[in-house]
Structure 1
């Protein structure tokens, strides 16, 4: 069995109350709305057929926070220790190209003695978005653009990223100005992922494992987009944090256990 760890960030607005006198008419302080990124994680086990295992002994873990990565990492570490990540046979970490993820989570896995068979993978569909952006600039003809993109996508899935990078370099050598700049950005994204060995889709597919971060995207939609994010929704950060955590438990179908742990903490409080 494999342990899959998927990490990503959402987007919603919090309110920061203004200081000073309250509004004379409303008797309330005004506020400033600010977009922030809640960071979420889902951890689950898949069997030999690539299907999620979900029973009383093996549960899905969902969690997140509105803190920065320094606040997120202890939460992730807590869950990984609780799951006994050091006893896992194989682990897959899948995420987009966010720098904070790849800078901090792999060292955390190493610290917790994650198994040697730990694979790191850029989300396939995020990478193909980069290929699409490159094709939009490289080709003026729709048919040529679509043909190149489809072929590049198949090549990427076979883990032949260097073939695509060489093709990109040929187009870049003939481009100038903003067009060239845009293509270089997309090429560099792919080159970085290749050098870091995070494009090994062929091997992951043979293991019947996910190559996309659909699980975490679904969690963000259910937790953030459908409840916290929305027109005219401005949450106090501490309230958004509570709702985020509660909805993570609900969607993981661990609500009863979660409530039970809270009640037990009142009945039998831990002493330092």
Structure 2
């Protein structure tokens, strides 16, 4: 991915994962597009596909959605099917669960809110990029409980560039 390589990261250092709960929302859209199903049938279908996602069976989810691509709503269902098909490699929930990694983006969203938004954003607040980057680094260390590293970095000698 261009973003990761621009940050100096190799592919083996990056895990891309579609938020599990967003994927389930797409399943709910598919179920809602199905005409003639009761609320219970929709819920059962979603639960079955949800379990398949957790087991790493995205191909079976795509197949199940394919089976619903009929009638007037087939174009919208196909759009949802393509979502799962195009993101198959980013839906390895079974492996993430085995490695005890989060399946949702909530932790990341919370970190962004706590580390960045609460300190750097505000009415009438403007930052120079260098100042914002420095404060962001300090705040990240502080929020991660790494205050000893802040002190170590603060007293680290700086190296001047020689032209």
How high is the TM-score relative to the length of structure 2? 0.71
Indicate yes or no: 2:41 matched with 1:138.
Answer: no
* Displacement of 1:240: 4.7
For residues 233-248 of structure 1, the aligned pairs below 5 Å read 235-236=126-127, 238=129, 240-248=132-140
* C-alpha distance in 2 between matches for 1:134 and 1:119: 27
* Displacement of 1:219: 0.9
**Greater percentage in strand:** 1
Q: Check conservation: 2:62, 2:85, Cα contact below 8 A.
A: yes
C-alpha distance 119-249 of structure 1, shift in aligned 2 (>3 A)? closer
Partner of 1:270: 159
- Give CA deviations for 1:111-145 in whole Å, capped at 9, x if unaligned: xxx48xx8654332232232223333335743332
* C-alpha distance in 2 between matches for 1:260 and 1:169: 57
Partner of 2:81: 187
Q: Check conservation: 2:141, 2:149, Cα contact below 8 A.
A: no
C-alpha distance 120-234 of structure 1, shift in aligned 2 (>3 A)? same
**Highest RCO, 1 vs 2 (Cα 8 Å, sep ≥ 6):** 1
Indicate yes or no: 2:102 matched with 1:210.
Answer: yes
* Displacement of 1:187: 1.6
* Displacement of 1:190: 0.7
C-alpha distance 182-222 of structure 1, shift in aligned 2 (>3 A)? farther
Partner of 1:170: 67
* C-alpha distance in 1 between matches for 2:96 and 2:143: 27
* C-alpha distance in 2 between matches for 1:135 and 1:224: 37
C-alpha distance 237-185 of structure 1, shift in aligned 2 (>3 A)? farther
Partner of 1:20: none
- Give CA deviations for 1:62-107 in whole Å, capped at 9, x if unaligned: xxxxxxx48x943xx3xxxxxxxxxxxxxxxxxxxxxxxxxxxxxx
* C-alpha distance in 1 between matches for 2:45 and 2:144: 40
Partner of 2:93: 201
How high is the TM-score relative to the length of structure 1? 0.47
Q: CA RMSD in A?
A: 3.2
* C-alpha distance in 1 between matches for 2:124 and 2:55: 44
C-alpha distance 260-119 of structure 1, shift in aligned 2 (>3 A)? closer
Q: What is the aligned residue count?
A: 157
Indicate yes or no: 2:143 matched with 1:251.
Answer: yes
- Give CA deviations for 1:147-181 in whole Å, capped at 9, x if unaligned: 222221111111111222122122222234xxx44
Partner of 2:111: 219
C-alpha distance 245-271 of structure 1, shift in aligned 2 (>3 A)? closer
Please list every run of 5 or more consecutive structure 1 residues that lacks an aligned counterpart in the other structure.
Answer: 1-68, 78-107
